[in-house]
Amino acid sequence: MPEFNNHTFVVCAYKESKYLEECIKSLENQSVKSNIIIATSTPNTFIKEIAKKHNLELFINEGESGIGQDWNFGVSKAKTKYVTVAHQDDIYNTNYLEEIVNEINKNKDFIIAFGDYREIKNGEIVPLTKNLKIKKFLLSKLKKDGNSKKAKMFALKFGSAICCPCVTINTHITGKKPYKIDLKCDLDWDTWYDFAQKNYAFLYINKEIMLHRIHEDSETSNLIQNNVRLEEDFTMFKKFWPTPIAKFLMKFYKSAVKTNNV
């Protein structure tokens, strides 16, 4: 089994997710082996026992907590150049890292590498949704030229087409605290926006390489219910468009956000 020692999966564990171990097993079952660690700001017996069971190093964030802060803490504990922040509810296809490595070998001058994904609800992989079809279209320009600023911005200007847990980050460029922390829900979109300004490639793999779980206990679902998501979406749209156009786009975006509900 080939190994890739310059990469780490950082599993960000929160409270007692019943999906955590399934996520870890999907990382252990990669066709290309890598490093795996767990990071948490909510230490408990449940997480500690899983870390012990799988012989994984566990890092506890005793400093400032929050989604972005927790992700940055986890990345900071990785000793490798390339890092994937694995979300505890998601499942990574066995070829996830293999595809990432193949793409990196073609172009090491990149800031992020990622692929497509499918959604899983109530334990079932759902048919390709309208939203995911739109995202694939928004990413299509990156297939031709991941270095193009226009292509990078096209992937972001109508909403973030990049699935956060699918992303592998090149920390040699981003540093060990890559994520912006100004926003609670759209911090990944905000981060990709900043990355798009830099002269480094977005490596896009036109293959479905992971499963993103939609469920009622997820932090994204909670933020949607509290309208935090919509407020932050409007903030992000204004970075790309004049306010009147941003308001117009929000009319369509509100209905798209509803698909995240179980």
Our count of domains for the chain comes to: 1
What pLDDT is recorded for position 192? 98
Task: Note the pLDDT of residue 251.
Answer: 82
Give the per-residue pLDDT at 213: 93
Note down the domain range covering 40: 3-260
pTM here? 0.92
CATH code where residue 226 lies? 3.90.550.10
Q: What is the pLDDT along the chain (262 residues), one digit of tens a residue?
A: 677 889 999 999 999 999 999 999 999 999 999 999 999 999 999 999 999 999 999 999 998 889 999 999 999 999 999 999 999 999 999 999 999 999 999 888 999 999 999 999 988 999 998 889 999 999 999 998 999 999 999 999 999 999 999 999 999 999 999 999 999 899 999 999 999 999 999 999 999 999 999 876 645 544 445 578 889 999 999 999 999 999 999 987 776 655 555 5
Please report the DSSP string for the chain in residue order: --EEEEEEEEEEE-S--TTHHHHHHHHHT-SSEEEEEEEESS--HHHHHHHHHTT-EEEE--S--SHHHHHHHHHHH--SSEEEEEETT-EE-TTHHHHHHHHHHH--SEEEEEEEEEEEETTEEPPPPHHHHHHHHHHHHHHH-TT-HHHHHHTTBTB--S-GGG-EEEHHHH-S--S--S-SSSHHHHHHHHHHTSSSEEEEEEEEEEEEEE-TTSHHHHHHHTTHHHHHHHHHHHHHS-HHHHHHHHHHHHHHHGGG--
Q: Quick one: pLDDT at residue 255?
A: 66
pLDDT of residue 5: 87
